[in-house]
Structure 1
């Protein structure tokens, strides 16, 4: 008898029940279950991974209330971001809805459109960086 089968028999489990339980506990999934997961989770990267210093500097200015600069450059910040695709969490750990605001990371250059870099902040104190105009996010805090 194999090790798994003998453990299952000893504790009165079938091998199938043991495998199902381990799958649940370890967060394993079949390929079909993995495909059923929302794409949103795939667009979020580890905390702080590959966030450029300029984004950290902008976040500090957002927190200080000095971003965007009032210089007529066309740099935007503080507008509502809807999270329509549910890419970011919709609720905090307590189940309260999270409201988000979006901010340009860089000052808009004259004669050019705003670039793709943004920071999205939540009323739960979260902050997210995107280099590709909301296609993927890296959690800053």
Structure 2
């Protein structure tokens, strides 16, 4: 029990650091890599409206946790990001296009199945 009391403040400080300035510093990397909502494909704009409305979503995997394994998005705590399918005309499967949403209502678009991202701006 003493062990926990000793390390609890340290763990709390590390968690706060990871969700505060670190996130802002990482997000700055997207300042030049953005796409306006109006420049998105129409299917992506439709998906954004569904996300903002809370569904219903056409794919069963929509809304699952996006784990950011490639670390191409700003570092955040587990469960922060969710992924949604952007339908691709003529594609029989879900295709490669996705919108990733963050808990703070920021959105990222990928047309190449997570190889690159653009932050969506108004």
Please report the TM-score for the alignment, with normalisation by the length of structure 1: 0.54
Counterpart for residue 78 of structure 1: 63
Match of 1:48 among 24, 30, 36: 36
Q: CA RMSD in A?
A: 2.9
Once residues 99 and 110 of structure 2 are traced to their aligned partners in structure 1, the CA distance between those partners, rounded to angstroms, is 6
Counterpart for residue 121 of structure 1: 101
List gaps (5 residues or longer) in structure 2: 1-28
List gaps (5 residues or longer) in structure 1: 1-40, 92-96
Larger radius of gyration: 1
Q: Secondary structure at the match of 2:109?
A: strand
Counterpart for residue 102 of structure 1: 83
Q: Which has the higher helix share?
A: 2
- The structure whose RCO (Cα within 8 Å, separation 6+) is larger is 2
Match of 1:65 among 39, 54, 57: 54
Contact 2:88 2:97 in 1 (8 A): no
Once residues 132 and 46 of structure 1 are traced to their aligned partners in structure 2, the CA distance between those partners, rounded to angstroms, is 15
Cα distance, 1:108 vs structure 2? 9.2
